[in-house]
Every structure is written in structure tokens, then in C-alpha cells.
A and B are shown apart, each in its own frame.
Chain A
Amino acid sequence: MLGWWRPRCASIRPDLVAWVDGQLSSRRAERVRRHVDDCATCAAEAKSLAAVIESQRTGLTEQLAAVSPDIDRLWRQLSGRLHAPQADVGRRRELVWVWRPALGLAVAAALLWLGSAAFEEPAAVLISVGVKAPPAKVTQQPELFKDFAIIQDLDVLERFDTAETEPPEGDRTPPADQG
């Protein structure tokens, strides 16, 4: 007998509080009601829970009612925050640690740039470096050597000191006599 009703009670107990609160679906509530009608233990538990829930309701409501803030003062404060130029002043305050250093860095960079512009030496004079004309293969198969000019320029820059300064093919005209 004991083994028969215990599992049923165990499956009903988790529903008891919700049943007393009237929050179960009608089918489930009916199942609990039928069990409680038959089981004196669960009926006693349900009765105890009903008293507990009622006293919790009264006690908690009374406790919370004891907290009575000055609603006029709160409204004045909230109203001030609502009508601030940017309502979310708090969030802007939180971002101060981001924009202040960023602004500082920007100002420092600007000053550095201005300073270096004022005191830097005259701009370096770029000297055009003549390179040898491309080999015949390059002109015959240009698709294979499309990067030849770039590579040659890089090569020249790498060996700047020893690079021949011979002007390109087209510029090999002898310089005109001066005077």
C-alpha cells in the first residue's frame, strides 16, 4: 500500500504550490485535486501551504509597503535627468575614460606634426635614376615580363650606390651643348 501511494505523492508534491496558487492548467489541477481528495497527507500539506502562502502574501506586502520613498523628490530628480541635453548622461560619463585619452593622443599627434613641419630640413631632391633598356626577350614576350620594370627599379634601389646611371633608351640623346 505504502509503495503504491508514495510515487503518486512524489509526482504531485511539485505541483502543490502552483495548485494552491491557482496556476495549474485545468487538466493538471484536476489531477492534483483528485489526489488531494484521496490522500490525507497531501491534503494536510496543501492546507499548510495555503496558510503559508497567505501569510507570505500579507507579510511581504506589508514589508514592501513599509518602504515609502519621497516620490515627489524622485520625480524631480528623474525629470532633471530626462530633460538633460543628452538624456543618457551616465553612459557618456562611463565613456570619459575612452574619449579623453583619445583626444589627448590626437592633440599630441597634431602638435608633433606641426613641430616637425616647422623644423624639418628642406625636402630631399629626388634624382631620377636611369636604368638599362630591357633585354630583347622582354620586348618579345611582354606578358612574361610584365613586372620587369618594377623588379628592375627595386634592384636599382637596392644597389643604389653601384647602379649605373645610364639613362633609358629614349633619353640617350647627348646633352645639348651648354652655351
Chain B
Amino acid sequence: MLAAQRDERGAFEALFRKYGRQLAAFARQFVGNQARAEELVQDVFLHVFETRRRYVPRARFATWLYRIATNACLSEVRRGEYRGRIVSLEPPDDDTPAPQYPDPDARSGEELVMRREAGQRINAVLAALPAQQRAALLLARVEGFSYEEVAESLGCSLSAVKSLIHRATLTVRDRLGEEVR
């Protein structure tokens, strides 16, 4: 990021290539649509580019990036377009790609189907969580953020993050039942 701040050639592109994919996956959990998630990622990086001079490296770049992304995702959710959407356990009929596992040949067909169904259940349970709990859970479990980094990204206190992750973890466990045990 510091290189991008100095407008070094290729630095910003390297940042985008490093974080773009995971950010699109993160945004997808909020907007529920691949195309909109990609647009959102572009908006986030456009914002990063425009405000790069104001970046102060007091925390990890990823924390700053996810703070922008989380704000964008939560605003999008607050706009209400996704509120009240019925969560279906059926495969989505939009342009969502089917899960691609690293080595499909290594798994039996039955196992692949089971894993795919499990993934869809997780998606459905995640989508039913309040947006802040979802964001906290994804940042902690998938991005590997510490609670402090999650608090920084969400702009809330450490105790609030502890409570968000606690409730989200228990809700996901209860709704998935034996699936994740």
C-alpha cells in the first residue's frame, strides 16, 4: 500500500490482484449477487485509490481495506434491497458459479454433492444472520482477523465484537444442527 501511495507503477494493481477475489467473495455474502459484488469491489478500490494519500499505516492494510468494504456492504444492506429476501436452500438461479473444489477427482460424486449441499446450507444460515454478525463472523473465521481487527473494521468496540461473534457462532451452530458438528 505504501508503494501505491507513492504511485509506484504496478503497486495498485498488485494490491487489487491480492485482495480483489476475496473481497468479491466477502461482498457476495451481503449483496447476494455476483455482478453487484464485483461492482462493489471496484467501488471499494476506487475509494482506496482516491484516498490513498490519507492512509496511515497504523494497522494492517487489510483492516483498513475491509473497513471500507464492510461499510460499503452494510450501506448496501441498509438500502433495503436485500432485506426480507427469502432464503432458499435450493441452488441460486442467478449467475453464481457452482463451487469449484481444488481437486474434484479426489472426491467421490456423493461426497461432492454432500459438500455442495452443506455449503448451500451454510450460505442460507449466513444470509439469515444480521448483517453485522455476518460481517464479524466472516472477518474472524475466514479472513482470520483478531477481534481487535474486526472491531477496527466494523468501527465498534471490542466487547461488541465479542458479543457479535458469540451470538453468530451459536446461531449458526443451532441452525445447522448436526451438519457442522
Q: Are A75 and B13 in contact (CB under 8 A)?
A: yes
**Please, what's the 1-or-0 string for B170-181, where 1 marks a CB less than 8 Å from any CB in chain A?**
101100000011
For the side of the interface on A, what is the size category?
Answer: 35 or more
Judge whether B147 is part of the interface by a CB distance below 8 angstroms: yes
Which residues in A have their C-beta under 8 angstroms from that of B115? Answer: 62
In residues 118-153 of chain B, which contact A (Cβ within 8 Å)?
118-119, 122-123, 126, 137-138, 140-142, 146-147
Which residues in A have their C-beta under 8 angstroms from that of B1? Answer: none
CB distance from A177 to the nearest CB of B (A): 83
Query: Measured between alpha carbons, how far is A108 from B132 in the docked complex, in Å?
Result: 50
Which residues in A have their C-beta under 8 angstroms from that of B126? Answer: 60
Q: Are A53 and B98 in contact (CB under 8 A)?
A: no
Q: Are B169 and A53 in contact (CB under 8 A)?
A: yes
A87 in contact with B49 given A52-B181, A56-B180, A68-B97 (CB within 8 Å): yes
Q: Are A62 and B99 in contact (CB under 8 A)?
A: yes
Pick from B22, B119, B180: contact of A66, CB under 8 Å? B119
Judge whether A127 is part of the interface by a CB distance below 8 angstroms: no
CB distance from B55 to the nearest CB of A (A): 16
Q: Are B98 and A64 in contact (CB under 8 A)?
A: no
Of the candidate stretches A14-22, A109-117, A148-156, A168-176, the one touching chain B is A14-22
Which residues in B have their C-beta under 8 angstroms from that of A61? Answer: 141-142
Query: Measured between alpha carbons, how far is A15 from B169 in the docked complex, in Å?
Result: 12
Pick from A62, A65, A71: contact of B20, CB under 8 Å? A71
Which residues in B have their C-beta under 8 angstroms from that of A55? Answer: 180-181
Of the candidate stretches B57-65, B72-80, B82-90, B160-168, the one touching chain A is B160-168
Q: Are A66 and B97 in contact (CB under 8 A)?
A: yes
Which residues in A have their C-beta under 8 angstroms from that of B21? Answer: 67-69, 71
Q: Are A63 and B169 in contact (CB under 8 A)?
A: no
CB distance from A86 to the nearest CB of B (A): 11
In residues 1-34 of chain A, which contact B (Cβ within 8 Å)?
14-18, 21, 23
**Please, what's the 1-or-0 string for B100-127, where 1 marks a CB less than 8 Å from any CB in chain A?**
1100000000000001001100110010
In residues 1-51 of chain B, which contact A (Cβ within 8 Å)?
12-13, 16-17, 20-22, 24-26, 28-29, 34, 37-38, 41-43, 45-46, 49-50
Query: Measured between alpha carbons, how far is A76 from B154 in the docked complex, in Å?
Result: 30
CB distance from B43 to the nearest CB of A (A): 8
CB distance from B35 to the nearest CB of A (A): 10
Q: Are B16 and A75 in contact (CB under 8 A)?
A: yes
Judge whether A88 is part of the interface by a CB distance below 8 angstroms: yes
Q: Are B46 and A74 in contact (CB under 8 A)?
A: no
A23 in contact with B45 given A17-B165, A62-B101, A78-B16 (CB within 8 Å): no
Q: Are B138 and A18 in contact (CB under 8 A)?
A: no
Query: Measured between alpha carbons, how far is A21 from B173 in the docked complex, in Å?
Result: 15
Q: Are B147 and A21 in contact (CB under 8 A)?
A: yes
Which residues in B have their C-beta under 8 angstroms from that of A52? Answer: 169, 172-173, 180-181
Q: Are A74 and B38 in contact (CB under 8 A)?
A: yes
Which residues in B have their C-beta under 8 angstroms from that of A81? Answer: 42, 46
Pick from B12, B28, B50, B122: contact of A67, CB under 8 Å? B28
Having A56-B169, A68-B97, A78-B46, one finds 17 other A-B pairs with CB under 8 Å, namely: A48-B173, A48-B181, A51-B180, A51-B181, A52-B173, A56-B172, A59-B118, A63-B123, A67-B97, A74-B24, A75-B13, A75-B20, A77-B42, A82-B49, A87-B46, A87-B50, A88-B50
